[in-house]
């Protein structure tokens, strides 16, 4: 049984459902453009593009193109673009719409992230599992809000984890999908530091992807040991929807089991790639294995 009120709470929050409409109207505008590497002019795939702090946005496709709709009320807002390894860029929606050149170039970030440590010098033999390994399908949430998957692109959901081990290395990240009618789904795994109880900066300077194929359900394990991602204290690991293929013409189904946590809000969700984070009182079936 799927808990419909909880699904609505997680995916919509306090935002009106009208904000998710991707069908152009007289009051809507379509933002479309190309994102490239400033140095090489090469197109950049999977760049998060959206209206800052609003549930409107997407990620670029494999050729660097993006397209999504906004409303009249968003013309005075800011458009933000970000991807690991490049400096984030923020421009006004009004300036972008008035520009004839719809190509946006990003600069490579020359300084590595301070939280990242890469080392092979220490053999780590002890392990620790943190998170929820149980799967109870009595309470579940749908990743999708509408009947089209376009509005899911760039959305993100994950959990906060805490370790008291100093300089632990993430061996793997695991999450459970209980229902899925997609032939192919590509996710990006994002791991953030925590500031003011919210995801802050990415703590690894490369993109990490995972795929689910052939309507796969159950546990998906992403091996992260070779990345040597070091964590201390609190960190947040999320799954971001990047790309998918559905051969059948039917409503999208991707469902995750959850457990309610009325006294803590360690689940983090945002509907679009530059949206505000929302904290939810549930635990996903998701865990990490740490080595130390």
Q: Is the pLDDT of residue 14 over 70?
A: no
- Specify whether 80 is located in the same domain as 190: no
| Pairing relationship of beta strands 127-131 and 103-106 according to DSSP bridges | unpaired
Predicted confidence (pLDDT) per residue in 261-274, tens digit: 999 999 999 999 99
Are 205 and 84 contacting, i.e. CB atoms less than 8 angstroms apart?
A: yes
- Specify whether 178 is located in the same domain as 259: yes
pTM for the structure as a whole: 0.85
- Specify whether 210 is located in the same domain as 257: yes
- Specify whether 75 is located in the same domain as 211: no
Between 4 and 201, residue with greater pLDDT = 201
Buried b (16+ CB within 10 A) or exposed e, 122-134: eeeeeeeebbbee
- Specify whether 90 is located in the same domain as 177: no
pLDDT of residue 111: 58
Helices (H), the chain: 4-12, 93-98
Predicted confidence (pLDDT) per residue in 118-155, tens digit: 445 556 789 999 999 999 989 999 999 777 788 899 99
pLDDT of residue 157: 97
3-class secondary structure, 46: coil
Q: What are residue 220's DSSP bridge partners?
A: 175
**Which CATH number is 24's domain given?**
2.60.40.1120
For the chain, count helices (H), then strands (E): 2, 21
pLDDT of residue 205: 85
Query: Measuring CA to CA, which residue among 67, 89, 69, 86 is closest to residue 78?
Result: 89
* Domain finish residue from 106, 128, 150: 106
pLDDT over 90 percentage in the chain: 78
pLDDT of residue 4: 42
- Taking the C-alpha atoms of residue 183 and residue 244, their distance in angstroms, rounded to an integer, is 8
- Taking the C-alpha atoms of residue 289 and residue 127, their distance in angstroms, rounded to an integer, is 7
User: pLDDT-derived band of residue 51, with 50, 70 and 90 as boundaries?
Assistant: very high
- Specify whether 85 is located in the same domain as 146: no
User: pLDDT-derived band of residue 3, with 50, 70 and 90 as boundaries?
Assistant: very low
User: pLDDT-derived band of residue 208, with 50, 70 and 90 as boundaries?
Assistant: very high
pLDDT of residue 147: 73
As given in the structure block, the two tokens for residue 121 are: 């010098």
pLDDT over 70 percentage in the chain: 87
* Domain finish residue from 82, 106, 130: 106
- Taking the C-alpha atoms of residue 242 and residue 61, their distance in angstroms, rounded to an integer, is 8
**Which CATH number is 270's domain given?**
2.60.120
Range of the domain at 98: 17-106
pLDDT of residue 146: 73
How many domains, the chain?
A: 2
Predicted confidence (pLDDT) per residue in 219-235, tens digit: 999 999 999 999 999 99
Q: How many CB atoms lie within 10 A of CB 30?
A: 11
Q: Is the pLDDT of residue 84 over 60?
A: yes
pLDDT of residue 122: 58
Buried b (16+ CB within 10 A) or exposed e, 86-111: beebeeebeebeeeeeeebbbeeeee
- Specify whether 100 is located in the same domain as 139: no
Are 245 and 62 contacting, i.e. CB atoms less than 8 angstroms apart?
A: no
- Specify whether 44 is located in the same domain as 134: no
* Domain finish residue from 106, 134, 158: 106
Between 172 and 150, residue with greater pLDDT = 172
Phi-psi region of 197 (alpha: psi -120 to 50; beta: other; left: phi over 0): left
- Specify whether 79 is located in the same domain as 122: no
- Specify whether 86 is located in the same domain as 209: no
pLDDT of residue 193: 96
Alpha carbon of 191 to those of 32, 33, 156, 203, 231: distances in Å? 28, 28, 12, 6, 10
What is the four-CA torsion angle of 244, 175, 80, 89, rounded to 10 degrees?
-110
- Taking the C-alpha atoms of residue 277 and residue 267, their distance in angstroms, rounded to an integer, is 10
- Specify whether 131 is located in the same domain as 250: yes
- Looking only at Cα atoms, what is the longest distance across the chain? 62
pLDDT of residue 117: 45
- Specify whether 62 is located in the same domain as 128: no
For residue 24, what is the enclosing H or E element?
Answer: none
- Alpha-carbon 191 to chain mean position: 10
């Amino acid at each position: 049984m799927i808990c419909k009120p909880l699904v609505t709470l997680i995916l919509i929050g306090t935002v009106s459902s009208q904000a998710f409409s991707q069908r152009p109207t007289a009051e809507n505008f379509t933002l479309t453009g190309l994102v490239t590497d400033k140095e090489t002019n090469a197109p950049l795939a999977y760049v998060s593009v959206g209206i800052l702090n609003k549930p409107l946005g997407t990620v670029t496709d494999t050729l660097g193109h993006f397209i999504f709709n906004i409303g009249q009320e968003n013309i005075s807002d800011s458009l933000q673009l970000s991807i690991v390894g490049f400096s984030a860029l923020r421009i006004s929606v009004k300036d972008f719409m008035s520009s004839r050149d719809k190509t946006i170039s990003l600069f490579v970030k020359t300084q590595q992230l301070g939280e990242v440590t890469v080392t092979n010098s220490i053999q780590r033999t002890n392990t620790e599992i943190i998170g929820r390994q149980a799967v109870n399908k009595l309470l579940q949430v749908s990743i999708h809000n509408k009947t089209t998957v376009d509005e899911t692109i760039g959305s993100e959901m994950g959990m906060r984890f805490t370790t008291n081990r100093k300089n632990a290395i993430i061996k793997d990240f695991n999450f459970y999908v209980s229902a899925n009618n997609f032939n192919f789904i590509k996710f990006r795994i994002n791991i953030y530091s925590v500031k003011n109880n919210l995801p802050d900066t990415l703590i690894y300077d490369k993109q990490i992807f995972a795929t689910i194929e052939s309507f796969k359900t159950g546990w998906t394990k992403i091996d992260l040991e070779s990345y040597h991602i070091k964590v201390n204290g609190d960190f947040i690991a999320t799954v971001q929807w990047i790309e998918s293929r559905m051969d059948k013409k039917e409503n999208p189904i991707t469902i995750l089991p959850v457990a309610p946590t009325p006294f803590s809000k360690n689940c983090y969700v945002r509907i679009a790639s530059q949206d505000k984070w929302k904290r939810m009182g549930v635990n996903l079936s998701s865990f990490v294995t740490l080595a130390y």
